[in-house]
Structure formats: C-alpha cells, structure tokens
C-alpha cells in the first residue's frame, strides 16, 4: 500500500537454481491490468518457484522485476504486499489452530500495535472484504474446523484483506469438487474486472474457461505464450509436455461385473478417524480379480482411512475385509502384507520408502525377515543385491547405483522403487493411493501401464485418486465416496466428469 | 504438630518452591510455542544461578553490597538470554536436531558453572540472599497472608508474570507471530514474518527466564550455590510445559503441583515420619514420569511444528 | 561440487566445528584465568606420557565404548537414550548383588553371570523408558533424565542401607559401599601395576556384535528402518513400538554391562560416584563415533584421554576438572551444527555459491533438464535427525497413542 496501482508487471530474465536443478531459466513474463494470465506447466516446471520469486519469498539468482516500467526488488513478502501483490498458495498458508481473524492479523501489519493486537480492526476488515466480494467467512471460526472449500475462501479473503490488487493463485482448484471449481472460476471471472490475476494450473479446461492469455512453462523455460482463445486444450497439452501424450486407457469391454463376491471384499466397514469421529461409516465394496475399481471423492471423505484400514494400519471398529477368503480386519500391517496385499501409499517419501536407506534395502523392506532375504536371522546380502539389480532393470529405476539412498531419487523414480517392491511380491490385490501425484507425464504413463498390466494378470486393484481423469481412464468401475460411505458405484465407461462431480458433492440421484 | 499446621506448613513452603519451576517453565512455554524444544534449560539455569551468586559473594562488605542482589539478577538474565541466543544459533541457524543439542547446552552450562564456581568460590558458601518482604496489609490476613503474601519479591513477580505471559502470547502481535512460527512457519513466512528472527527472540526470552529461575534458586531459595543446585528442575520445567498445554496458566498449576509435592516430602521428613530419605527425594521425579504418562494429547493445541527446523528455500 | 571440492569442504566443516568447540572451551578457560594453550596441551598430551596414563585412558574407554554402543543402538532405532547414567547404576546394583550372593560359584561361571545380571539391571531400567514411549508416547529424553535421578537415589539408598558393607557400620566410618566382591568375580588385570583389565576384550567383542546386529541381521534392519523413518517402517509391516522397546532394552543392557565391567574390573565393589558422568560422556562418544562401532572405539579412546587429561588440569594448569563437561557440551553443539553442513545438499549449494561469488567465478551450471534429479533434503535423514524427530514426536505425542496417531493426517512438513 502506499504505492501506485500496478498497470504492468514484468519479469525479465528470471533465473533461479536449486542444487542440481535449474528451476527457472531466464524467464520473461509480463502481465497487464485487469487481465487473467494462466501459467501452465507440468509439476516441477518451475511455476511455483517463479511466483515465489515474485512474492519475495525466493531471491532470484538473475533477472529483474519491473512494475510500471520501474525496477523493484522484493526482499520479503512484505515488499510484495506493499505493491499490492498477493498470493494464494497451493497448500493453504493457514495456521490451523488459530482463528480466521488471527490468520489475517498475522499479515495485517496495521493491526500490530506495540503491545496490543487490534483484532477488532481485523475482524471489521474481513467482514468488509467478504461482503464486497461475496465471500462469506466467519472471522471467529478456527481454521481446522473449516472444510477445504471454506479454507480456500479464507485464503482469498486473507489475501484481499492484505490489499492485494494483483492476485496469484497457485493451483487453487486442486482440492475442490468440479462444482466448487466452477463456482470459484465464475467468482474469479467477476473479480478480474478490477484485479489482475495470475492463474497457475495444469488443468487445461480451467485455463480455457478463465484466462485471457496463457504462458506455458517447461523445465524452467517459457516455451509458449499466446491468447488462450486461439488454442485448444489438446494444443496446450502437447506444448506443456513437449510431445503428444496418449495415456493408456482401460478396455473394460462388456464384462460388467459388480455385485459378485470379489477377490477383495469389504463389508460394512466402520473405522474411526483421528478426531475420534467415524471416518468410514459402513463402506462395502467388492473388487473382482482383474478389475480396477477407482475411488473418486473430494479428499478428506475417508479415502485415507480406508486405505489405512485395508492395510492393517488403522484399527477397524466393525465390519470385515476379506482378501481371497482371508479375514484382514483386526490384523496387523504385517498380517495384511503376508496375505498378499500390495500398497502404494499416499506419501511416498515417508510412507513408501525409508529415505536414508539404499534402493536395494528399500526393495526388500517388506519381506526382510522372509527366507528369501535372510537366513537364521542374518541378511542374505548377495540375494538382496541381485534382487535390486533385476528390479532396477525391469522397472527402469534410474539411480546412480542400487546403493544410493532412495530419498535422493526423483519422485518418479521413488514411485518406481515402491511399485517394483509391491509388484515383485506378486500381490493378490493392490491399493494405490494417488499413485501419480506430482509426477511428470512420462512417469504417469509408466505407472498406468503397470497398473493395467497387473489388472490383466488378475490382480484386484483399488485406485484412489483425486484426478478424475486418471480414475476415468483406468477404472472398470468407479465408486464415489462421500462422508465415509460409498454413495454410488458406476461403470467406468458410463461415467462423466459432471456426473461424478455431482456425486462427489453428495448428490446421489439425478 | 496437628494436621492443620502440617498442611499450612506445606502451603507456606510450597509456594516459594514453585517459583524457580514457574519462571523456567514460562520461558520454555515461549520457546515451545515458537517451535523450539529447549532441553538446555537446565544448563542455562545452572549458569544463571552461578552468575547471580557472584555479586553478593564478592561485593559483601563493599558499598555496593546493597544492590548486589539486583546486579546478580541482571547478570543472570543477561547470561541466560545470551545462552538462549547461542542455542538459537545452533538449532535455528544451523538447524541442528533440538533434543540432542539441548543436552549439549545442558552439559555446557552445567560444566561452565561448575568450573567457574570451583575456581572463584571453591566451596559451599552462603550469601544473605533476597529477604522476604511482606505485602503491607495483605500479609496480615490469617492463613492466606502467610501462604501468599509473606515472601521475597521474586515470588510476587513470578506469579504476576503468569498473566503477563498469557497476554503476551495471546493478545499481542509478537505472541501471534510466536504461535504462528511454532505451528506453521511456512504460513508465517508467506506473510512476511521472519521466522528465524521470531525464534531467536523467543529463545532469548526463554533463556532470560531460565537464567532468572536459576538466580532465584541461588539468591532466594538456597542462598548459596552448589553443583547440583538445579537438580533436574530445568528438565521438570520442560515437562511442565506439556503438562500445562503450552498455556502459562496451566504451567503455573503444574509448577504448584510439583512444589507442593516437594514441600510435602520435606514436611514428612521434618515431622520425623519414618520414610527413607532417598525415596522422598525421588518423589518429584517419579511425579514427572507419571504426569507425562497421564497427560493426553489434544489435537490442535499447541505448537504442531515443535522441533522442526525451517528453511524457506528448501523445496520439500 | 566435484569430489575433491567436497572432500575439502567436509574437511573445512570438521575443522571449523573443532575450532568452534575449542573456542567455547577457550572462553571458559580464559574466564578462569588459565593459560589456554597450556590447558589444552595438558588435556590432550599429559596422559600420553607414561604407561599409567595410557592404560588409564583405556580403562575409561571401556565403559565409555560400551555405553556409547548402547546409545548408538537406541539412536539408530529412533530413540534418544539420555538415561545411560541411571541404567549403569542399576546394572552395578544387579551385578554386585549377584556376585556377592553367588560368591561360591567358580570364576568362569560367576563373571558371565555377574555381567549378565548387570545387563539385565540396565535393560530393565532402559526398558521402562522404552515401554513408556511405545505405550504412552512419553518423551524418552525427559523420562530417561528423570530415571537417572531416581536411579541415583535408589543407588544411594541401597548402598547406605541394605547393601552396605556391615564392616563400615562396625568400624563406624559409614562409607556408603558394598562389601568387596569375591575374587572369583574379578576381571583379570592385564598389566601389573596398572588397572587395565580384561573388560577391554569384552568391549571389543561387543563392538563386533553391535555391528553384526545392526547391519547384518533382519532384526537390526528393522530397528534401523524404524529409526530412520518410523512411518515407512510401520507401513512395511514393522512393529515399530516393539522395536523401540527392544532398542531401549538393548541400550540399557549395554549401559548395565558397562557398570558391571567397571565394578568387576576396576573398583571390585559398588561405591558412590562410579558412573562419574560416563552416561553423558557416552552420548558424546556415540555422536563423535558416528553412531557406528568402528567409530565409537576410537572415539571412546579420545574421550578417555579427555577425561583423564581434565583430571590432570587441576594440578598442572589450575583448571577445575569440570572443564571436561564444558568441552563435551561444546563438542555436541559443534557436531550437531556441522551435520547440517555435511549432509544437506541445499546448504552445500549455498556455501558453494557463496564461495564462487567470493572468487568471482560463475556458479556451476546445473545440468540441463535435470529437474528430475531433485534431491529432497528432507530425506537426508541421519540417525541424529531421527532422534530429533522423536524428540519432537513427543511434542505431539505426549500421551498420544502412537499406534493410532502416527499414520494419521498429520502431514510431515509441507510441500
């Protein structure tokens, strides 16, 4: 504040290095007044880094930032706020155990009296902003009690309260249902008449719907710039990935299963969540051998608890989980593993691998006590090394050597290590949670192919994902989870984004 | 001795016993709210106790003897803050793991206090220390006056600091920042708050409080210095912060609970009840373990990022 | 950075850390008005000048290495055992009580029995902290520290009461100590005129055992996995809580054995002040030795030297022996600070670029298109960081049942 409004903002030759990575490579970008600029690219293309530089969170190694043609230097986000730039981060920057007002006050320096926090002024400002932009929020609510959609709103209000006229939105729709996404987009369209917006996304239909111009980033470089209306999503996708990508699709044929007892059979499962609530309230699902069932739903509706309960990581209150006839409910993680369950967990860095362990150690993590890898309690180092060599080849794990710490590999290769371990065990069923989150398209394609190959070998696969595209491409049937229960199961070939979106929002009949 | 005076004795003893724990735990509350787990508290208290003891020891008989206690307190606060900053250098700037670094600081402070004490003082020597100042009027209230209003000034100050620290944490901008950097430093950072700076400040304040707590022990409670003067109170203070759920008022309750247990133990010995001395001394330590085992964690209370270093440029 | 650069860099960090530790020590030395160089010279060289000195170093290194190996087992398994001091005392009590009670047994039976009793005593004491952590999420640092104080009181109680040498009561000197051990429980002295005893071989043998356990068995594999990333270990079917308790039992057992060996080899009766801070020095030795037996053995010799040298400074340089505590504390702080510079690629990168800037060389270009090879610094978990994590775990885990809580929505860090 106290600065003239931004009529033009220009980034020139911005370069930022991280160890081993050139995150931004001489990027030029300019944004005018009252326009929406989409910044598109795959994960790791450098979009977020670039915007963090604009916010003063990172210092660029080279390059300049110009506002209205004059050089500026942002040493901290405060400098960016002063110029009226604000950012809604992909992962909400909200302190969970504070109220909405306190979260806003944190950034609102005008409320910081020397010995007193002027929370009343903050509350007033919040109400002003939320009224003006039709963004209802309760200033006194504790953040952790709010839903994801509400938190998203709080983030917007917070940014506007701090005086932002130039708004950066980093993948703002990633946690929203299709309907919530539509609402947000129409809201942003309204706001664009008085604000400038940079919209970061890799969802191309949103880009089409919202933006005037689009810039595509690939591996730290701007590879394309142009007006959005002149290009189809397919064009943009090809530009984003650098090649035509045709992700594999399931050929579910005519075999409409369902109802028949499956290889993996879940009946009336009840499981408590972390806060003692019933996170799963009577989930039933049958997965036949050679079938992929996709579990769609807004995150936080019990997906995590289901995956954990299936794998013996969360106690089951009631109900049953049967894998090939064996009861898993009440068993330990070790029991479930021994029964032949494979699991690709959500957080690959802390759940899937032990990062400081070598690749070869991680590849035998689950069966280290078994006869194959140990004899009389002592490790069979030779066998472990041979196993690693073979799997490295088979799954195309790119690592300097199998003695390298697994945590130092890229996300895609870490996922391949996990996949190799799980699939080499010859599982009867596989639970895959967000298996391609944050990976580039090459790795995504590889993993999809592997899942489909397992399907044709007769493995029962539960695919949990928040990418509807992924679920629709791979699933024989799609189950929609809402508030801890399966709302509906639909055949994969009949599903549309719209119908799934409604189900995800809890609307069962249409 | 009748039961009434026995209980009264425990109360009269217990209130001043709680002060060292309370002061240190208030400081540790700020540390932990800012996300730093400072186990070096014990060592800082030892240094505080030692430096506070020096002026009354050396200035006895000089014209400055009258203000020796004040100089001692100021020294303890200063040295405590300095050690807090040293700890901040290690765990905030160098991002060292806090648990083990705290043990290092504890050994450092403890060792330095012992070394300097042996060299400058030698043996156990008493000092006049800080004398009780009854609060005019209030100290005459029957029973209550003796329990609450007939102590040395540091006792009153310590208990007055409880609401002060509560206000500081929950009603001031700085407190807001402290809570934010301890819970979600990345969010604080995204709003232009200098996470490291806030953590340095919190550790300096926490260190100062630990230094003051040590000074209370050597100047007001024991009126002397010895190697084992602190006797684990720094660690107990850390435990009290959990017990008090990172809230100054809860911390005060914990400090009183412990000091009353200690007073009970002393009273039992004084009363000549046949109970092995060593078991009586064990009591507070056993109590810590019991308390830690019983305290249940409530979600969404307190600093959830406790113990984790922060680096903005680390892309996680 | 290339290989030589990296080597030089690491060397520079080590030198800087050593200098920082000695610098902190120098401040205290200056404060007591000592000749700093002389004091350091005394500490580091005086014990090496005669046979007594050399053997005494080894005598101190024996319990230190045993304790440090126990601590390394615990740290590697993700639990910070600060309670070696108390575990050692409990080991001494169990061992001496056994030796005195079974005095009639022949030597080849009694010595192993007494040492195993010591191990059991220490294991029991360590196991308490392990079980409290595993079952109730009690912070193990706080519980082990408290157990140290409790053990110290219990030790004194027994030495002044039930276990006290009856002769002390008769002659009236009242020294709190037990009767002398039967000769059949004594560990042999190796060199006449010195206290060097056969416990050395026990320590060396156990070093091999620890190495085999941690790096060559499936049990050790699981313990290390639990310590390096408890969540991943749990997801892989490892019963993390069970291995935590096992680690604390073993860790305590090593401290207990250290106590037993010290009593049977050196003092030949339980007296006060045996532990003499070995439990805390053991932590430094374990860290200094890189939590690996091959490092711990030399580290224990170095700290044996330091302890002995510090005893001599009182006489030769007028510096109180407490000085060694200052050095140990400073060394811990220096080691944990230096780790960051050694293991974190981001910090290394920053330093490299700062250097490049200083010498006006362009920064090393990142290989093109190397976005894939993003090392995640949060993954450079070393055992010490794990310790820290567990210290933290408790912040959130005091009273939280880790079995149910750990795999929950709590996100580690942020992305």
A19 and A133 part of one domain = yes
Distance from CA of B172 to the nearest CA of C (A): 24
Q: Which A residues, 407 through 446, put their C-beta within 8 Å of a C-beta on chain B?
A: none
Architecture of domain C47-319: Orthogonal Bundle (1.10)
Render each residue's pLDDT in chain A as its tens digit; 510 residues. Answer: 456 778 888 999 999 987 767 888 999 998 888 889 999 887 778 888 899 999 999 989 999 999 988 999 999 999 999 999 999 998 889 999 999 999 999 999 899 988 899 999 999 999 999 999 888 999 999 998 888 888 999 999 999 999 898 999 998 887 777 778 888 888 888 888 888 999 998 778 888 888 899 999 888 888 888 898 888 887 887 887 776 666 677 776 545 454 456 799 999 999 998 877 889 999 999 999 999 999 998 878 899 999 999 999 999 999 999 999 899 998 999 999 999 999 999 988 899 999 999 999 999 999 998 889 999 999 999 999 999 999 999 999 988 889 988 988 888 899 999 999 999 999 999 999 999 887 877 788 899 999 999 999 999 999 998 888 889 999 999 999 998 999 999 998 888 888 888 888 888 765
- The answer to whether B191 faces chain A, any CB pair under 8 Å, is yes
Which residue among A407, A426, A445 closes a domain?
A426
Is A87 inside a domain boundary?
A: yes
List of chain B residues whose C-beta atoms are within 8 Å of the C-beta of residue C344: 95
The number of folded domains in chain A is 3
CB atoms near residue C166 (< 10 Å): 8
Which residue among A177, A208, A241 closes a domain?
A241
Distance from CA of C400 to the nearest CA of B (A): 5
Q: Name which of B108, B117, B185, B313 to mutate to probe chain C: the one with the most chain C Cβ atoms within 10 A of its Cβ.
A: B108
Sequence ranges of the domains in chain C = 47-319
Question: What CATH number does residue A302 fall under?
Answer: 3.40.50.300
Alpha carbon A77 to its chain centroid, in Å, reads 25
The closest of B148, B179, B167 to B256, measured between CA atoms, is: B148
**Helix and strand tally (H, E) in chain A?**
16, 22
> Is there a contact between A399 and A410 (Cβ–Cβ < 8 Å)?
no
List of chain C residues whose C-beta atoms are within 8 Å of the C-beta of residue B275: none
- The answer to whether C3 faces chain A, any CB pair under 8 Å, is no
Locate the chain B residue with the closest alpha carbon to C137: B293
The Cα C323–Cα C327 span in angstroms is: 6
Domains of chain B: 3-129+159-294 (1.10.3470)
Is A346 inside a domain boundary?
A: no
Q: Name which of A15, A19, A174, A433 to mutate to probe chain C: the one with the most chain C Cβ atoms within 10 A of its Cβ.
A: A19
Q: Alpha carbon of B201 to those of A117, B84, B177, C102: distances in Å?
A: 18, 9, 11, 59
A421 and A507 part of one domain = no
List of chain A residues whose C-beta atoms are within 8 Å of the C-beta of residue C3: none
A174 and A200 part of one domain = yes
Alpha carbon B38 to its chain centroid, in Å, reads 11
A102 and A209 part of one domain = yes
A503 and A367 part of one domain = no
A369 and A307 part of one domain = no
A127 and A186 part of one domain = yes
List, for residues B89-135, the tens digit of each pLDDT value: 999 999 999 999 999 999 999 999 999 999 998 888 888 888 888 88
- What Rg do the C-alpha atoms of chain C give, in angstroms? 23
Distance from CA of C382 to the nearest CA of A (A): 7
Is A458 inside a domain boundary?
A: yes
Residue A397 lies in domain: 354-426
A168 and A286 part of one domain = no
List, for residues B234-286, the tens digit of each pLDDT value: 999 999 998 898 999 999 999 999 999 888 888 877 777 777 888 888 888 99
Minimum-distance CB partner of B100 among C132, C388, C400? C388
Q: Which A residues, 19 through 38, put their C-beta within 8 Å of a C-beta on chain C?
A: 19-23
CB atoms near residue B273 (< 10 Å): 9
CB within 8 Å: A19 and C349: yes
A273 and A333 part of one domain = yes
According to DSSP, the β-strands at A21-32 and A8-18 are: antiparallel
* Residue ranges, chain C, pLDDT below 50: 362-415
Is A186 inside a domain boundary?
A: yes
Is A349 inside a domain boundary?
A: no
Beta strands in A370-459 (DSSP E): 374-375, 378-379, 429-433
A388 and A309 part of one domain = no
CB within 8 Å: B194 and A102: no
- The answer to whether A382 faces chain C, any CB pair under 8 Å, is no
Q: What is the pTM of this model?
A: 0.88
> Is there a contact between A500 and A178 (Cβ–Cβ < 8 Å)?
yes
Question: Tokens 């709590």 correspond to what residue?
Answer: C410
Q: Name which of A331, A334, A350, A409 to mutate to probe chain C: the one with the most chain C Cβ atoms within 10 A of its Cβ.
A: A350
Helix (H, G, I), strand (E, B), or coil: what is residue A484?
coil
A60 and A170 part of one domain = yes
A101 and A19 part of one domain = yes
Distance from CA of B128 to the nearest CA of C (A): 25
CB within 8 Å: C222 and A343: no
Locate the chain C residue with the closest alpha carbon to B98: C388
């Amino acid at each position: 504040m106290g600065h003239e409004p931004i009529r033009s903002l220009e980034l020139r030759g911005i370069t930022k290095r991280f160890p081993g990575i050139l995150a931004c490579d001489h990027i030029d970008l300019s944004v005018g007044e009252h326009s929406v600029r989409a910044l598109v690219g795959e994960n790791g293309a450098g979009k977020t880094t670039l915007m963090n530089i604009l916010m003063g969170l990172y210092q660029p190694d080279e390059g300049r930032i110009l506002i209205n043609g004059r050089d500026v230097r942002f040493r901290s986000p405060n400098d960016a706020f002063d110029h009226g730039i604000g950012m809604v981060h992909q992962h909400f920057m909200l302190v969970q155990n504070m109220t909405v007002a306190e979260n806003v006050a944190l950034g609102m320096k005008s409320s910081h009296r020397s010995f007193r926090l002027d929370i009343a002024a903050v509350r007033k400002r919040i109400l002003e902003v939320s009224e003006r932009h039709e963004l209802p929020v309760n200033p006194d609510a504790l953040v952790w009690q709010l839903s994801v959609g509400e938190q998203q709103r709080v983030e917007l209000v917070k940014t506007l309260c701090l005086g932002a006229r130039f708004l950066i939105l980093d993948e703002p729709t990633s946690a929203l249902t299709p309907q919530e996404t539509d609402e947000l987009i129409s809201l942003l369209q309204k706001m664009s008449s008085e604000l400038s917006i940079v919209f970061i996304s890799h969802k191309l239909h949103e880009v089409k719907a919202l933006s005037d111009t689009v810039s595509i980033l690939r591996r730290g470089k701007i590879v394309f710039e142009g007006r959005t209306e002149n290009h189809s999503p397919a064009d943009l996708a090809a530009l984003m990935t650098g090649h035509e990508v045709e992700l594999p699709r399931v050929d579910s044929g005519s075999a409409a299963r369902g109802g028949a007892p499956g290889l993996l059979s879940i009946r009336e499962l009840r499981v408590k969540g972390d806060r003692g609530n019933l996170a799963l309230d009577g989930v039933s699902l049958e997965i036949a051998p050679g079938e992929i069932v996709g579990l769609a739903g807004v995150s936080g509706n019990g997906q995590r608890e289901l995956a954990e309960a299936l794998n013996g990581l969360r106690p089951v209150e009631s109900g049953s989980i049967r894998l090939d006839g064996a009861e898993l409910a009440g068993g330990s993680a070790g029991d479930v593993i021994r029964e032949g369950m494979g699991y690709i967990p959500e957080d690959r860095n802390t759940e899937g691998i032990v990062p400081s362990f070598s690749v070869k150690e991680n590849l035998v993590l689950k069966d280290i006590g078994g006869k194959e890898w140990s004899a009389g309690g002592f490790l069979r180092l030779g066998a472990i090394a041979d196993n690693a060599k073979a799997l490295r080849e088979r799954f195309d794990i790119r690592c300097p050597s199998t003695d390298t710490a697994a945590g130092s590999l890229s996300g895609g290769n870490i996922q391949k290590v996990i996949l190799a371990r799980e699939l080499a065990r010859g599982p009867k069923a596989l639970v895959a949670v967000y298996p391609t989150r944050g990976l580039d398209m090459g790795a995504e394609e590889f993993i999809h192919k592997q899942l489909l190959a397992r399907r044709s070998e007769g493995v029962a696969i539960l695919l949990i994902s928040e990418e509807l595209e992924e679920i629709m491409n791979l699933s024989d049937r799609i189950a929609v989870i809402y508030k801890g229960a399966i709302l509906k199961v639909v055949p994969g070939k009949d599903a549309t984004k719209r119908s799934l979106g409604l189900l995800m929002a809890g609307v069962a009949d249409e | 001795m009748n039961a009434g005076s026995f209980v009264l004795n425990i109360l009269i003893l217990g209130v001043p016993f709680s002060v060292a724990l309370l002061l240190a735990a208030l400081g540790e509350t700020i540390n932990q709210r800012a996300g730093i787990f400072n186990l070096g508290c014990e060592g800082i208290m030892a240094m505080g106790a030692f430096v506070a003891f020096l002026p009354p020891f050396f200035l006895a008989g000089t014209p400055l003897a009258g203000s020796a206690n004040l100089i001692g307190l100021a020294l303890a606060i200063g040295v405590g803050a300095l050690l807090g900053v040293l700890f901040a250098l290690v765990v905030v700037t160098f991002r060292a793991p806090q648990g083990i670094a705290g043990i290092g600081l504890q050994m450092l402070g403890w060792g330095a206090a012992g070394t300097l004490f042996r060299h400058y003082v030698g043996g156990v020597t008493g000092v006049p220390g800080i004398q009780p100042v009854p609060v005019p009027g209030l100290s005459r209230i029957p029973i209550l006056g003796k329990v609450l209003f007939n102590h040395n000034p540091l006792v009153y100050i310590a208990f007055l600091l409880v609401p002060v620290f509560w206000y500081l944490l929950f009603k001031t901008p700085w407190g807001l920042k402290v809570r934010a950097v301890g819970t979600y430093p990345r969010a604080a950072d995204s709003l232009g708050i200098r996470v490291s700076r806030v953590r340095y400040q919190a550790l300096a304040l926490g260190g100062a409080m630990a230094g003051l707590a040590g000074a209370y022990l050597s100047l007001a409670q024991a009126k002397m210095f010895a190697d084992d003067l602190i006797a684990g109170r720094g660690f107990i203070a850390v435990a009290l912060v959990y017990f008090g759920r990172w809230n100054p008022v809860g911390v005060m309750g914990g400090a009183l609970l412990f000091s009353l247990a200690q007073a009970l133990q002393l009273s039992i010995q004084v009363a000549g009840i046949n109970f092995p001395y060593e078991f009586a001394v064990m009591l507070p330590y056993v109590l810590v373990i019991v308390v830690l085992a019983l305290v249940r964690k409530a979600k969404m209370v307190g600093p959830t990022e406790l113990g984790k270093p922060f680096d903005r440029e680390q892309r996680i | 950075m290339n290989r030589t650069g990296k080597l030089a860099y690491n060397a520079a960090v080590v030198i800087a850390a050593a200098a920082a530790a000695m610098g902190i020590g120098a401040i205290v030395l200056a404060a007591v008005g000592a000749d700093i160089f002389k004091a350091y010279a005394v500490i580091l060289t005086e014990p090496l000048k005669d046979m007594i000195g050399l053997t005494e170093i080894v005598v101190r290194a024996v319990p230190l290495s045993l304790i440090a190996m126990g601590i390394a087992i615990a740290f590697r398994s993700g639990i910070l055992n600060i309670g070696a001091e108390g575990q050692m005392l409990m080991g001494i009590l169990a061992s001496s009580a056994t030796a005195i009670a079974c005095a009639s047994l022949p030597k080849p039976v009694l010595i192993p029995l007494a040492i195993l009793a010591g191990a059991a005593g220490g294991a029991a004491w360590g196991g308490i902290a392990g079980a409290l952590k595993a079952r109730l999420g009690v912070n193990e640092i706080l519980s082990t520290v408290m157990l140290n104080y409790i053990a110290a009181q219990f030790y004194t109680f027994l030495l002044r009461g039930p276990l006290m040498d009856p002769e002390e009561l008769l002659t009236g000197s009242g020294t709190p100590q037990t009767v002398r051990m039967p000769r059949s429980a004594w560990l042999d002295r190796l060199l006449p005129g010195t206290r060097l005893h056969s416990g050395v071989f026990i320590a060396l043998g156990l070093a091999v055992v620890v190495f085999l356990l941690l790096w060559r068995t499936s049990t050790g594999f699981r313990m290390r996995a639990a310590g390096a990333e408890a969540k991943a270990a749990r997801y892989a079917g490892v019963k993390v809580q069970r291995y935590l308790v096992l680690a604390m039992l073993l860790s305590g057992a090593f401290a207990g054995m250290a106590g037993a060996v010290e009593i049977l080899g050196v003092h030949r009766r339980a007296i006060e002040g045996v532990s003499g801070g070995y439990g805390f020095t053991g932590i430094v030795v374990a860290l200094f030795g890189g939590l690996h037996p091959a490092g711990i053995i030399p580290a224990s010799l170095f700290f044996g030297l330091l302890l002995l040298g510090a005893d001599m400074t009182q006489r030769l340089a007028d510096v109180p022996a407490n000085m060694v505590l200052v050095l140990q504390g400073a060394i811990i702080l220096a080691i944990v600070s230096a780790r960051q510079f050694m293991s974190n690629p981001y910090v290394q990168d920053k330093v490299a670029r700062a250097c490049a800037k200083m010498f006006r060389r362009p920064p090393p270009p990142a290989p093109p298109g190397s976005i894939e090879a993003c090392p995640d610094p949060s993954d450079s978990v070393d055992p010490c960081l794990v310790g820290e994590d567990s210290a933290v775990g408790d912040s959130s885990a005091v009273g939280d049942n880790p079995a149910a809580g750990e795999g929950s929505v709590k996100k580690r860090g942020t992305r």
